[in-house]
Amino acid sequence: MKHLAITAAVLALATPAFAEYPERAIEVTIPAPAGGGTDTSARKLATLLEEELGTSIAILNVAGGGGSVGVTQFMLQKPTGYSLLATWNSPITTVPQVQQTAYQPDSFTPIASTSETAYTLCVNPDFPADTGEAFLEELAANPGKYTYGNDGIGGTMQLAAERIFQSRGIEAVAIPFGGAGETLQNFLGGHVDIYGGSISPVLPYTETGEAKCLLVTSAAPVKALPQAAGLESLGLGDEETLLWRMVLGPAGMDADVVATLSAALEKTVNDPAYVEFLATKGEIPNVVTGAALTARVQGEYDALAKVAKALGLSQ
């Protein structure tokens, strides 16, 4: 009897939740440490989203395992629309290749992608190459001579670089660091030859002339790095790998709630304040929702599976 009463009370509470979503605070899990690129992007977006949805948003950082710890913990949440995941692509499309994760790309309800940027490869000004093409030729001519810093073994950055290297038969020594900041420090100190990582940390050093960025991992060149070649111009357009961010929900979410959320995200991501904020980090907004987002995740997952396999990193 008591049990019935509780069930009825829960139903009474739960039913209008779908009618007037959202009616209480939303909890967003970020599978990365506070202060990093994914964290700042998500927190800034959350402040705008709070206004748009008229509810408060609590943020929980669960770092570790290249993102898999936070994502796995999130997977157990109920698909009520009050638990969301704000992540970058690596934990979803890269990590399952190199770790045995409990989730696959299709274990979530895709809501919307938010922004994207390329990775870049930079060298010091004395490096004997000044263009993307010459850079790859120099690497190909000296197998095993150059070291490049990256964001961690089996991370998207490493796979993005190896994807390019493999198609040109290049062998470079990967040195994994804890993140782009640490890579930058070791690059500036001359401990590694090549900086590999996101654009934003190294950008100021291209202006002071301490870094020469010769390649980006996107098909098109990046405006902020005029010297860096896009992959299209090198005939490697198919090998594009981006760093992009998205918001996901647990599998089995209500379609109306997903629609409310993706509409709200589309609006806030394209808010001039957010676009301007993204620009300071070298990122551009790119909202993809629904089936197109599912296809994007799956396509990247399949392409990186091949690279991971060739590198012997596959699980």
List binders of other proteins among 159-198 (CB under 8 A): 173, 175-178, 181-182, 184-186, 188-192
Give the nearer residue to other proteins in terms of CB position, either 190 or 226: 190
Nearest to 138 by CA among 152, 121, 119: 121
CB atoms inside a 10 Å sphere around CB 25:
11
Q: How far apart are CA 97 and CA 315, in angstroms?
A: 6
Nearest to 198 by CA among 262, 155, 260: 155
Does 53 bind other proteins (CB under 8 A)? Our answer is no
Does 20 bind other proteins (CB under 8 A)? Our answer is no
Q: How far apart are CA 288 and CA 110, in angstroms?
A: 10
CB atoms inside a 10 Å sphere around CB 311:
19
Nearest to 132 by CA among 197, 200, 194: 194
**Local structure of residue 230 (DSSP, 8 states):** P
Q: How far apart are CA 171 and CA 165, in angstroms?
A: 7
Give the nearer residue to other proteins in terms of CB position, either 201 or 221: 201
Residues 192/146, Cβ–Cβ less than 8 Å: no
Min separation Cβ 191 and other proteins, Å:
4
Min separation Cβ 232 and other proteins, Å:
28
| 152 phi and psi angles, rounded to 5 deg | 135, 150
Min separation Cβ 233 and other proteins, Å:
27
Residue of 33, 79, 285, 290 interacting with other proteins (CB under 8 A): 33
List binders of other proteins among 147-166 (CB under 8 A): 147, 152-154
List binders of other proteins among 76-135 (CB under 8 A): 78, 80, 98-99, 101-102
List binders of other proteins among 202-231 (CB under 8 A): 203-205, 207-208
Does 46 bind other proteins (CB under 8 A)? Our answer is yes
Q: How far apart are CA 132 and CA 218, in angstroms?
A: 13
Residues lying near other proteins in the complex (CB under 8 A):
6, 10, 13-14, 25, 27, 33-36, 39-40, 43-44, 46-47, 56, 58-66, 68-69, 72-73, 78, 80, 98-99, 101-102, 147, 152-154, 173, 175-178, 181-182, 184-186, 188-192, 200-201, 203-205, 207-208, 276-277, 280-281, 313
